Structure 1
Amino acid sequence: MSQQENLYEPSRIGENVVNLRESKNYSQAHLAKLMNLNKNVLGRIERGERPLRDTEILKLAEIFHVSTDLILDNQTEAIPDLQKNFLDYRNSSQKDISKQMAKFLDFLKKEPNLTFSGKVLSSEERKNITTAFEVTSRLISEQLSRK
């Protein structure tokens, strides 16, 4: 099993983390606590001395309601409403999966530079994912209508 090469510049990612943290007026200690990290480790990440782990990137995206691409410096601006809706679907009181799936499909179609396992998804791959979700949604709807 080969180790995946880090394609991202840790110092630029560190700058992005600092900018996100400061945009919310969070101290390093507060963000470190939210991420379950030692404050010194977060400082090393922000200085580009330690790369972010995959789980840490996802946690930052959740905390700041941004895409992982923004953190990884693949996207220059956040799309707050769309990203907030997508990331907050788990916390919503709404239980209708079909409505949440529609939001996800919209996000999938509009979000630039989506990645999977560190590789940017092609338009064909996006189309395949979208089709899979649409078929799944239709099959569930058909099954539920028979009950």
Structure 2
Amino acid sequence: MFSVELKKLRTEYGLTQAELARRLGISASAVGMYEQGRREPDSELLARLARMFHVSTDVLLGIREEPQAQQEVNTVIDRFTNILKNQQGLMFNGAPLSEADREKIVNAIRVAAAIAIPEEGENDESKD
């Protein structure tokens, strides 16, 4: 069910309803209504949420669960993201890391994880 999945993902990412609302450009009360099941998202918002939380829309809608390996990787990346976001004084080549730089680091790690973890049902060719 969408309401349950949204709340679960929001809390896993360490976001308040207000923070999620700000990122989506909607009101905190709208997020609350989604989480209470009193409102359903349109397809555009659903797609944005799926991209934000790095899951399929099927996972958001509760149609299927995220594979366990991907859940574990997302948990580790989310913890790293929170540490990176809250760490003060990080520098690269003598210059402080901007928020954009921090986001690029997290995105690079997500891309690397996506490449390293095979999709569900994908065969490992090295086992032949």
TM tier, smaller: 0.5 to 0.7
Within-5 A mapping of 1:26-65: 26-65=15-54
Residues 17 and 71 in structure 1, CA contact (< 8 A), matched pair in contact too: yes
Aligned residue for 1:76, secondary structure, equals coil
Unaligned runs of 5+ in 2: 75-106, 109-114, 123-128
| Aligned counterpart for 1:74 among listed residues 63, 72, 75 | 63
In structure 2, how many angstroms separate the alpha carbons of the residues matched to 1:33 and 1:61? 16
Which TM-score applies when normalising by structure 1? 0.47
CA–CA distance in structure 1, aligned partners of residues 121 and 47 of structure 2: 19
Report if aligned partners of 2:55, 2:66 keep a CA contact under 8 Å in 1. no
Larger radius of gyration: 1
Structure 1: which 5+ residue stretches go unaligned? 1-11, 85-90, 93-102, 112-147
Residue 77 of structure 1, CA deviation: 2.1
User: In structure 1, what residue type is equivalent to 2:58?
Assistant: D
Distance 2:45 2:20 in 1: 11
Where relative contact order (Cα < 8 A, 6+ residues apart) is larger, the structure is 2
CA distance in 2, matches of 1:80, 1:67: 12
Shift of 1:80: 3.2
Q: Structure 1 33/110 Cα, relative in aligned 2: closer, same or farther at 3 Å?
A: farther
How many residue pairs match? The answer is 80
In 2, Cα distance between the equivalents of 1:46 and 1:110? 31
RMSD, aligned α-carbons:
2.6
Kept in 1, the 8 Å contact 2:3–2:34? The answer is: yes
- TM-score, structure 2 normalization: 0.53
